[in-house]
Each structure stands twice: as C-alpha cells, then as structure tokens.
A and B are shown apart, each in its own frame.
Chain A
Amino acid sequence: MIQTRIKEVLHVLSDFKDRHEPGKARQEYLQQLKTDLCTYYSYNEYLMEKLISLFPHEIVDFLEANEVPRPVTIRTNTLKTRRRDLAQALINRGVNLDPIGKWSKVGLVVYDSQVPLGATPEYLAGHYMLQGGSSFLPVMSLAPQEGETILDMSAAPGGKTTYIAALMRNTGMLFANDANKERAKAVVGNVHRMGITNTVISDYDGRTIPDVMKGFDRVLLDAPCSGTGVISKDPEVKINKDDADIKKCSHLQKELLLAAIDCCNAKSKTGGYIVYSTCSVMVEENEWVIDYALKRRNVKLVSAGLDFGKDGFANFERFRFNPNMKMTKRFYPHTHNLDGFFVAKLKKFSNKIPGQENKDPSAKLGELGTFFKSEGDDDKSDDNTEESKTVESPAKEESKGSPNKKNPKEDNKSGSPNKKNPKQDNKPNKPFKKGKNPKYRFGKNKKFKSK
C-alpha cells in the first residue's frame, strides 16, 4: 500500500501544477513522501532528508539500487599475470565473467561462480584482488608513475595500495598507512600475496604523518567516511547515522586532508598531486571538505582524469563552493552500477602553508626524511645528564644554573670551588646560553625561588 502511495505522490510531484489536489501544498506531499520512503526502505528520517535533497528526482532509483548488491569485481594483478590469462584460468574453474567496461583494462566483473573467489589457487598466488569497481577510480585518478614516492594514507585492506604498486611496476617507493593495526595486517598479507616489494607499511594516525615524513610525489587519501555510498554492503548505515556522525566524519576528513596536503611536495617534478576519495555521497564529507582545504592550503582543483561520472556540486543548498568544484567526480549506484563514490584531485602549487610561513621551518624543506622533533631534544637531554654528572652538590648546581650574563660575579664565585674541571664547567651551561630549553630553565628558577 505504501508503495502505491509513494508512486502516486511521485506522479503528482513530477507535474505538481496540474496534478495536485486543490488545497494540498507541496510541502505536505513531500512530508508524506519522506515518511513513506522511511517506512518502506527502513531509513531514519535524518538520512532520508539528506538523500532526498541530494536526489530530488531519482530518490527511488537510488534507494532501489541500495537494496541490490553491486556486482562482484576483481582486479588483475599485472605484476603476475595478464587479464586474458586470468580470465581463461577462472573460466576453467567454472567462473562466469566479463571485462568490467571500457574504462579499465584490468577489471573483470563476475556474474556467478561455482568456487569461492576468495580462495582459488589463483587468488592465493596473487593473480587477482577482490575489489569493488569504485575503488579503481581514485587510483586511476592518482595516475602513479614509475619511480615516484607515493603515500596511501588509509590503506586497509590494501586493494588500492596493491593497484598503485602494480601501476608503478614495483619501482619507486610506496608508503601504506592505516591507523587500525588489525586492519593494517590485512595490507601486509595482501601486499606479500601480490608480490609487491616496494612498500613500507605503518600504522600511524594519519594526522601525525607530516611529523614523520614529507615530500611525497603523490598522496592518496581514501578517507574514513559514513559509508552512505555503500548502503548495499552495510545496511546498518540506514538507521545508525545521524547529524553528529556526519559532522564527526567531516571533521576528521578535514584534518586528514590537510595532513595529506602537508605530506605532498609541490616541487615534485612529476607529481605534487593529492587525490581525495570517500565512499559517501554526502556533500558534508566531500565538496565541503575539499572547499575547506582549498581555503587553508596552497592547492587547486584539477580534473580528476576520469571521463565518466557526474560532476561535483559547486553549489548545494546553503553551501557556495569554489566554482572549480565541478572538476570533482561523483559516482552513484543507480547511474553507474558502482558504489556511491566521490573523487577529487588536487594539485599543490606551493609548499608554504598560508598563515604560518614563519612558524614551521621544517614545512619548507620539501624533502623526505626524518623530522623527529625528539632528535633535537635528545641532544639536550644528553647535555643535561652530563651536567648532572659533573655537578656534585645541589647547591653548586644552583649557582651554576643561574644565567651567566646576568651576574658574572656569582658565577665566578661558584666557579672557584669547582676548580677540578673548569673547562667542563662551561659545557653544561651551553644549553642555557642558547636559550633553547625553556622548560629546563624554568625548573631551575623554581628551585631558586624556593630557596
């Protein structure tokens, strides 16, 4: 009954002027439609409202598409085999498959299979990867080149990572990172299974990566998201997402994207690109995040390099984004038969961070390497221990600890009883002269006062 009512309402709405009952406002029809769709497809009201505003005309198509699973797709590992050979081997095992489409030379779509695809000897030997069609897209957009240094910020379970490595033909360097250690283990397994040797796998929080290393030619950020594009995979999303969840995701994504941009090296000869993708259809998690980054960092939008998909929104409801936002690409289950997906490609044109050019000198060094803050600290702490060795009594320590310049007399006094090693006397004072260790000095002053 609900279904027929939905159809009627949609029929009226498609030509509201002629078809509506007199005295019944459009708002009433819309309210009716929303509650009906919520009950029929069992969504919560918040999500339904968002979806209706995203897909005012195609809402039913979208919801229907979420009820059916996407086709199973696999990606050929070009490091180990060719697509034709793989297809033949799988057909011999009773798998019914076809090339995924014109846009990919490595994808195969599987219609039905007599064997579990995740356990064939070909799978175990690393000839292919089970991977959603949509997750090819950000890697294709990233377009990694041989010999580059690339970062995959949230890598697990490794589908995109292994694709990047395959495109790089195992040259250069690939850093795969995932904050979740358990999930990062899946990356290790997949990387070894696929015969990839150029990869370093770590489990940092993505936001801290710029502190660890920088200077990547390309960075892929497949951000953690609400998953509103993959409802067919995980129907839980229908009811358990609310405004706070979306905001939380959006906030994290903004932080991660800024970190990703900071990792990238604008002076790279071949690259300087950042690709941002999510499996969400929400504007808050996509265009809004990109717009935020455009304002905070020296990046510009460039064409995603994908010749299909819908353009991103330059304007949406209350949002007014950068007009270049239409260079981003959106993919929907009902139009492309892929998971709902968003891909944006950014080009970094300067390593300077607007607003903090002078604050962070390490940001200007566009080189990959260690910028351990602790390294400098270590030196100082060494000095400190040295000092504590030479000092014999706390009283002497205090007199020594006092800044030399201010009261040279006192220093001389304290120097005289310590005749044993006058040369070493200067050494421990060095950190104070430089004035680099305010914490330490503060501790000294405190003692001074207490006395």
Chain B
Amino acid sequence: MHSETARAEPVKDGTILRLIKRIHLPLDDPFALAGLIIYAVFILVAVFADQLATHNPLEILFTADYQLAADLRPGEDGFVLGTTSLGRDIYSQLIYGSRSALLIGITAAFMVAVIGTVVGLLAGYFRGWIDVVLMRAADIAFGIPFLPFVIVLSAFLEPSIWNVVFAMALILWRDTGRVIRSQVLTLRTRAYIDAARVAGSSDLKIVFRHIAPNILPLSFLYGSIAIGWAILTEAAISFLGFGDPETISWGYMLQDAYASQALSTGGYYWFVPPGICIVLVVVAGFFISRGYEEILFPKLKE
C-alpha cells in the first residue's frame, strides 16, 4: 500500500505534463497561427476593455451643445465609429462586446468539450447499458432543433447571456460525445490497453492514463469549433430580442441597429463592425480547429 501511494505522485505529475504536451498547439500551420493571433488580440481587448473604451457603452451621450448625440457618423464630435440612435458610443460597445463574446465562447466550449468527452469516455469504455442510455440521449439531442430550443429556453428564463451557454451544454455535447465514443471504441481494442488491464490497472486508471490523453486533441478540436458556435448562437439570440439588454454584445448591437432602421438609413458604420468582429473570432476558431485536424488526421494533408 505504501509503495503504491509513493509511486502515485510522480505518475500524476507525468500525466499532467503529458496532457499538456498532447494538446500541442498547431503552430506550423499559418492559418491556425493567424487564428491564435486573432484570439490573442481579442482576449487582450476584452481584458483591457476599461482602458480601451472611451465611453460607458450604455450611457446616453450628449454633444458639447447639449444635443442628444444620436446617429452621429464616424468621426463626428470625436466618436470614432459614430453613435447609435439612442446616443450611445458604437466604438465602446464594440470593445465591451468582446468581453461577452469571449466569456460565452470559452465557457460554452469548455462545457461542450467536458460533457462530450465524459459522455464519450463513459459510453465507449464501459459499453453496456451506460452506452445505450447515453447514445439514446444523444439521438434525442440530435432530434431537437438547436436554435428554436435556445429561443424557447431563453424566453422562459430570465434574459441572460448564460442561457446560451446553458442551452449549448444541454444539447451540443452530442457531436463531441459521439465522435469521442467511437475513438474510445477503437482505442479500447489496442494491445496496450489489454496489457494494462491484464497487469491489473483499474478501469479509472486505464481511462485517465491511457485513453484520455489520446482523445484530448479531439476534445480540443470540438471545443474550438464550439467557441464559434456559441458566439454565433448568442448573436442570433440577441438579434432576435431574447438577449440581456443590460449586457452589451455584438448580437445586441446588431439587433439595435436592425430595429433602429440603420439598414434603410445607410448606417453601415453601425452594423458592419460588430459583424466583422463576430466573423473574425469565429473564423479564428475554425482555423485553429483545422490546424488540429491536420495534426489529428495527417492523411488529409497528403
């Protein structure tokens, strides 16, 4: 018993180190690198939003001559990107929007990756009724139309950006879960897993030491795709008017612009920048996931 616990420590260290190594960021692919840089920039903007923003994004502003600063064009009266119909600073909204986007994106991706990975591991490793129940649940999740589900859910719950995260956690684990399960099924038949089992390793140890490290890049792949999904979903929900009006997000800005007739008045400066920000962050996630794919399935490159 003593020697067992004594030996456990370094093993644990080794496992964590190995896990980190397994994640290896796809740095040699130029697009993936571009994606990582885009992420880095947006993270910096989100962190230093207070310093970068020129105004409170929700404050109704007035010009020097005490007029409502509404519908100002970019550059007018020192508003870099102009103002909204209610007299709010678009540039500052854009800066603060990065906060909610990243917050939602990363937490949702984390939830999707974690739930999906756990489900896939359990179903794939233990098989039997656990597998049947979990895969049946995945089938049902596949049958639920995602966006309509989020709409209905956010209509019942208090308006909050977390509704999207919650809904994604409820539904979107299905894709990750299935893929990871099939990966585990193939890993399970490998000789070294058998060897570990014969050598008397516990199920838990096999799962975490031998199987989990091998599927981690796959979890990351699906996680990086989920970031994009979360941001797009949040934008759609806010656009449809089910978002939290107290939290500035890019989707909220677009809804505001659409509802305030910015389209017919040529207010491109209002609805183009938030869209571009969304595209940049989401596409960055795609590029990174492509980089992972090439690490995971190098055959595709040939």
Asked if A pairs with B, the answer is no
Q: Residues of B with Cβ closer than 8 Å to A? A: none
